[in-house]
Structure 1
Amino acid sequence: MRALLVANPAATTTTAKVRDVLVRALSSDLKVDVAETTHRGHAHELGAQATADGVDVVVTLGGDGTVNETVNGMLADGPGAHVPTLAVVPGGSTNVVARALGRSRDPVEATAEILDSLRAGRTRRISLGTASARVATETDIAWGPGWTAPRYFVFSAGLGFDADVIRRVEEQRARGRRSTGGLYVRAGTRAFLLGPDRRRPSMTLHVPGRAPVEHLFLCLVANVNPWTYLGDRPISPSPEAGFDGGLATFAMGRVGPVRMLATLRATMSDRPHTSGRRVHREHDLAELEVTSSRPQEWQLDGDHLGPATALRVRGVPAALDVVV
């Protein structure tokens, strides 16, 4: 069985020593080629080449961004039997996808689990989502708004507050700060208290067959539960989300700090449940659209992608085989 290991050497918890240990372990059962990413978009190129070359299994070692790029490359020509099976080894700071697939947080243990599953033939076909944004740039103002090509996401998409937090964290990381739960908390606090959006919410959620929900400052789209983690603590705004169903949304209108903290505590409880007059939840959706009267940041799988004025999201059932 042929395998490609896509390793991101810049990922938070990935080292050359860990990579070499994993290669030796994988080589006991697989014919392994190794490729390290060198620039943004490289994992996409490697995933596409793996599909074209007929590789059986693509193993990612990195964070959720590496997984997202690799998956988009593997599915460049759409889902089908020609697409390799995906295995995920955690190498980033949060590793939502790896944890959603039941992998150990230790990369060596996770590799052993993957090998055991491959020997036993334990794979499953999961659903994904795609998102396309109406980008907001000076070029769009001059030439009219344009939509990006649809891009796959594995666990989340978002427009508004959550993407703004990710943007702030990425700016800090570019200055040399390490990605930690505390960094996200500080960025989220600043975005909530100092940003204009919670005071003047500009977004509207459109679900086919239902009345639009207006005056939102946050709209999360989830394909798994938990949506993300704060250290070891899961954050579950959409407990109904999962790889076997449709997409779930969690949206909030104008709220104050006390209400926001109460909602956050509810999403982090042992039995997460959020409700309220300005909390809006939907699940098992095939498609949706979020629009905004002014540009908002958008993100896919925790990767900040810039400003946009709308986001179109669709579910893709049974899109990809993964090792479980």
Structure 2
Amino acid sequence: MRALLVANPAATTTTRKVRDVLVRALSSELDLELAETAHRGHARELAAQATADGIDLVVTLGGDGTVNEAANGLLTAGPGPDVPMLAVVPGGSTNVFARALGRSRDPVEATGEILDSLRAGRTRLVSLGTAEARAGGAGATEGWTTPRWFVFAAGMGFDADVISRVEAQRARGRRSTGSLYIGAGVNAFLLGRDRRRPPMTLQLPGAAPVDGLFLALVSNVSPWTYLGARPIDPSPEASFDTGLDLFAMGRVGVVRMLHHVRQTMAARPDARGRGVHRWHDLGELTLTSTRPQGWQLDGDHLGTATGLRVRSVPDALRVVV
């Protein structure tokens, strides 16, 4: 079986020594090529070329951003029988998609699990999502961007603002930690204006619009993310076997917000109550905003937009489980 290992040398928990161990292990049973990413978007380019070259399997070593790029490269021309399989070795700080597939958090153990699965033929098709944004900001056009794939989550509003703040701190040399996200979330909530004057509206097919939202989290898996080892799970029913789940919030105060955060982190998460909106198994949804909002896919901030159109795509990609 021909395989390509796409390794991100800048991923949070990836080292050259670990990479070399994985290369030896994978090469013992696969006709393996190694490619290291050198810039943002490189994993997408490498995965697209792997598809064109008839590679059977693409293995990623990196975080969720690397997985997202690889999935977008594999699906450049859309789903189909000629798209290589994807296997994921965790190398980032959160690794939501790898954990959703049941992979060990240790990259060496995860590699052994992948080889065991390949011997046994354990693969499956999973649903993914696509998102296209309507650009916002000064001089923006009214058109929608080309759809991009996401593997586990999309968001518009508050969560994208938090991610933007974290990315700015990381650019200054800070490590990606739970405390960094907590600090960014507290600052965004207390200092931001959007939760006081929520600008977003949700439109679902055949339903009345829902106005006054400042946060919208689209989930393709459960949990939505992790704070260290602790899951944050606003949409516990989300699954690769269904459509997308949406968790949205309207105007809330500090006490109510803390209450809802505790609900999403409980042993049996069930965030409900004033200001909370939840939907399960959606095929599509559209968010619009009266002023530009940040948006994100799989934990990467992608700029600002005045609209986000999201769709579920069943059986989009074959993965090693």
TM-score range, shorter chain: over 0.9
Q: What are the within-5 Å matches in structure 2 for residues 170-181 of structure 1?
A: 170-181=167-178
Report the TM-score when normalising by structure 1. Answer: 0.98
Partner of residue 75, structure 1: 75
Q: What are the within-5 Å matches in structure 2 for residues 136-215 of structure 1?
A: 136-140=136-140, 144-215=141-212
Partner of residue 29, structure 1: 29
Residues 206-249 of structure 1: CA deviation (Å, up to 9, x unaligned):
11111111100000000000000000000100011010100000
Residues 180-199 of structure 1: CA deviation (Å, up to 9, x unaligned):
00000000000000000100
Q: Distance in 2 between matches of 1:91 and 1:135?
A: 32
Q: Distance in 2 between matches of 1:273 and 1:21?
A: 41
Partner of residue 96, structure 1: 96
Q: Secondary structure at the match of 2:149?
A: strand
Q: Distance in 2 between matches of 1:137 and 1:51?
A: 36
Q: Distance in 2 between matches of 1:3 and 1:40?
A: 22
Q: Secondary structure at the match of 2:83?
A: coil
Give the C-alpha shift of residue 138 in structure 1.
Answer: 2.8
Give the C-alpha shift of residue 296 in structure 1.
Answer: 0.3
- The total of aligned residue pairs comes to 321
Question: 1:221 aligned to 2:218?
Answer: yes
Q: Distance in 2 between matches of 1:305 and 1:175?
A: 19
Q: State the AA in 1 paired with 2:182.
A: V
Give the C-alpha shift of residue 322 in structure 1.
Answer: 0.3
Question: 1:301 aligned to 2:298?
Answer: yes
Q: Distance in 2 between matches of 1:91 and 1:216?
A: 34
The root-mean-square deviation of aligned C-alpha atoms, in Å, is 0.6
Q: State the AA in 1 paired with 2:96.
A: V
Report the TM-score when normalising by structure 2. Answer: 0.99
Give the C-alpha shift of residue 61 in structure 1.
Answer: 0.2
Q: Distance in 1 between matches of 2:275 and 2:157?
A: 16
Q: Secondary structure at the match of 1:214?
A: strand
Unaligned 5+ runs, structure 2? none
Q: Distance in 1 between matches of 2:51 and 2:6?
A: 13
Q: Distance in 1 between matches of 2:273 and 2:253?
A: 13
Q: What are the within-5 Å matches in structure 2 for residues 103-118 of structure 1?
A: 103-118=103-118
Partner of residue 265, structure 2: 268
Runs of 4+ residues over 3 Å off in structure 1: none
Q: Distance in 2 between matches of 1:313 and 1:138?
A: 24
Q: State the AA in 2 paired with 1:28.
A: S
Q: Choose from 277, 282, 293 the match for 1:285.
A: 282
Question: 1:234 aligned to 2:239?
Answer: no
Q: Secondary structure at the match of 2:277?
A: strand
Residues 25-71 of structure 1: CA deviation (Å, up to 9, x unaligned):
00111011000000011001001001011111100000000000010
Q: Distance in 2 between matches of 1:192 and 1:174?
A: 22
Q: State the AA in 2 paired with 1:207.
A: L
Partner of residue 65, structure 1: 65
Unaligned 5+ runs, structure 1? none
Residues 145-178 of structure 1: CA deviation (Å, up to 9, x unaligned):
2211000000000000000000000000000000
Q: Distance in 1 between matches of 2:260 and 2:115?
A: 40
Give the C-alpha shift of residue 277 in structure 1.
Answer: 2.5
Partner of residue 14, structure 2: 14
Q: Secondary structure at the match of 1:138?
A: coil
